[in-house]
Each structure stands twice: as C-alpha cells, then as structure tokens.
C-alpha cells in the first residue's frame, strides 16, 4: 500500500512539474513574440497571464491591439483568451469578446 501511495505522489509531482514548466515556456514564448511585435509597432498588450492548472493552459491578453505591417489593418479588443487542454496543447480555442474594433484602410 505504501508503494502505491509513493507512486501516486511521485506521478502527481511529475505532472505538476510538467505543467509548471510548460506554463513557463508558454509565457516566455508569448512575451518574446509580443516584444518582437512591439518593437516593430505591430502589437500592444496591457498584460499577459497564464493560468488553468491542472487541466488547461489559459492565456489571457488584456487590451490587445494588433496592426498589420503597413498599418492598413488593425484589430483591438478589451480582452482575448486562448485555451488549450494540457494533454492536447496543439488544439487551441480562442474566446473573443462580444465587442471588438476592426479598422481596414482607415475606416
């Protein structure tokens, strides 16, 4: 019985570590991508948050604004949420807010 308890505790610790490392990697890569886009003047985000333990990775962008290279296209919203299940991280669900701003060619 002790072996089973130690096994469960060990597997739980491994899974928690896996989630923490993956969440850290998601945050680091998202911040790096946003920093590159900010430097080019193509993106602005107030805050970036990663949550969702233990079953998901929930990335929340507060006040995101994305602009095309030539400035003809701009999208902005109060919030953007991206969800991915921890056992299927390549399947991403985007939750868009009910109100968004879209500018095409100055309109």
pLDDT of 106 strictly over 90: no
**Two tokens, residue 104:** 């095409």
- Return d(Cα 51, Cα 20) in angstroms, integer: 10
Residue 81 · residue 52 · CB < 8 Å: no
Q: What is the pLDDT of residue 70?
A: 85
Q: What is the pLDDT of residue 99?
A: 94
pLDDT by residue (tens digit) across 31-89? 999 999 999 989 999 999 999 998 999 999 999 999 988 888 999 999 999 999 988 88
Q: What is the pLDDT of residue 11?
A: 93
Instruction: State the average pLDDT over residues 7-27.
Output: 93
CA-to-CA separations, 80 to 25, 31, 52, 75, 91, in angstroms, rounded: 19, 15, 15, 11, 16
Instruction: State the average pLDDT over residues 13-18.
Output: 93
pLDDT of 97 strictly over 90: yes
pTM as predicted: 0.85
**Which residues, including other chains, have CB under 8 Å from residue 103's CB and lie 6 or more apart?**
73, 74, 75
């Amino acid at each position: 019985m002790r072996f089973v308890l130690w096994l469960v505790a060990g597997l739980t610790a491994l899974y928690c570590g896996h989630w923490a490392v993956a969440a850290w990697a998601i945050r680091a890569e998202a911040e790096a991508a946003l920093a590159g886009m900010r430097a080019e003047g193509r993106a602005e985000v107030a805050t970036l948050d990663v949550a969702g333990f233990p079953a998901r990775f929930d990335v929340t962008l507060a006040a995101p604004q994305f602009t095309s290279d030539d400035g003809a296209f701009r999208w902005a919203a109060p919030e953007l949420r991206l969800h991915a299940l921890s056992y299927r991280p390549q399947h991403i669900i985007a939750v868009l807010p009910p109100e968004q701003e879209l500018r095409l060619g100055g309109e």
